[in-house]
């Protein structure tokens, strides 16, 4: 249950950050990220996002954007969207019969605000660090229950 795909719109701000932060906290998980849009395919994470993440110990420089694909439903155990628009765009591509859970990263389903527009890169990192802790805690509770 530990292959997790983080998805946002562009795959250059929120989802690569969610991937790197969660990886730093839980290196045993198999993590990736993607964007519902193809605008930035092949690009590294957005410069200001990298600059905000680096002093916290997260190196985003090696990541490259890719677009979400319906095949991702078969390659991951869980898909984690950054907002309700992402969730809707992901669900619209679900293959018939597939049951992979798609959730929103925040515990209450509120959006992770897009710092590409808000310019609040540090606030985005604060929220992503908190959501990553909660996601990891939820996974270990599930592991305990199924052990
Ligand atoms: P992200 O932010 O979805 O967190 O990667 C965005 C980055 C770029 C664009 C949209 C959202 N864009 O339209 O170029």
- Burial pattern 117-133, b for ≥16 Cβ within 10 A else e, equals eeeebeebbebbbebbe
Question: How many whole angstroms from 140 Cα to the centroid of ligand 1?
Answer: 31
* pLDDT of 6 above 90: yes
* pLDDT of 24 above 90: yes
Question: How many whole angstroms from 2 Cα to the centroid of ligand 1?
Answer: 26
What three-state secondary structure class fits 105? coil
DSSP structure string for 52-78: HHGGGT---TT----B--TTHHHH-SE
Which CATH number belongs to the domain containing residue 101 in this structure?
A: 3.40.50.2300
Question: pLDDT digits over 47-58, tens only?
Answer: 999 999 999 999
Range of the domain at 129: 3-146
Of 15, 17, 39, which is best to mutate to test ligand 1, by the most ligand atoms within 8 angstroms of its C-beta? 39
Helix segments in 4-114, DSSP class H:
14-25, 47-53, 72-75, 84-91
47 lines ligand 1 (CB under 6 A): no
Nearest CA to ligand 1 atom 12: 10
Tell me the percentage of the chain whose pLDDT exceeds 90: 94
Number of structural domains (the chain) is: 1
Q: What is the pTM of this model?
A: 0.97
- Range 77-93 average pLDDT: 98
- Range 33-59 average pLDDT: 98
């Amino acid at each position: 249950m530990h292959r997790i795909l983080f998805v946002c719109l562009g795959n250059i701000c929120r989802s690569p950050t969610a991937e790197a932060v969660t990886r730093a906290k839980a290196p045993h998980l198999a993590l990736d990220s993607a964007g519902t849009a193809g605008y930035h395919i092949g690009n590294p994470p957005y410069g200001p996002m990298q600059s905000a993440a680096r002093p916290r110990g997260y190196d985003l420089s090696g990541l490259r954007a890719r677009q979400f694909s319906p095949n991702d439903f078969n390659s991951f155990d869980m898909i984690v969207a950054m907002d309700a628009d992402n969730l809707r765009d992901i669900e619209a591509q679900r293959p018939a019969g597939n049951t992979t859970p798609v959730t929103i990263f925040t515990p209450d389903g509120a959006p992770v605000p897009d710092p590409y527009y808000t310019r609040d890169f540090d606030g985005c990192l604060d929220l992503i660090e908190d959501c990553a802790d909660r996601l990891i805690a939820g996974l270990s509770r599930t592991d305990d229950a199924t052990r």
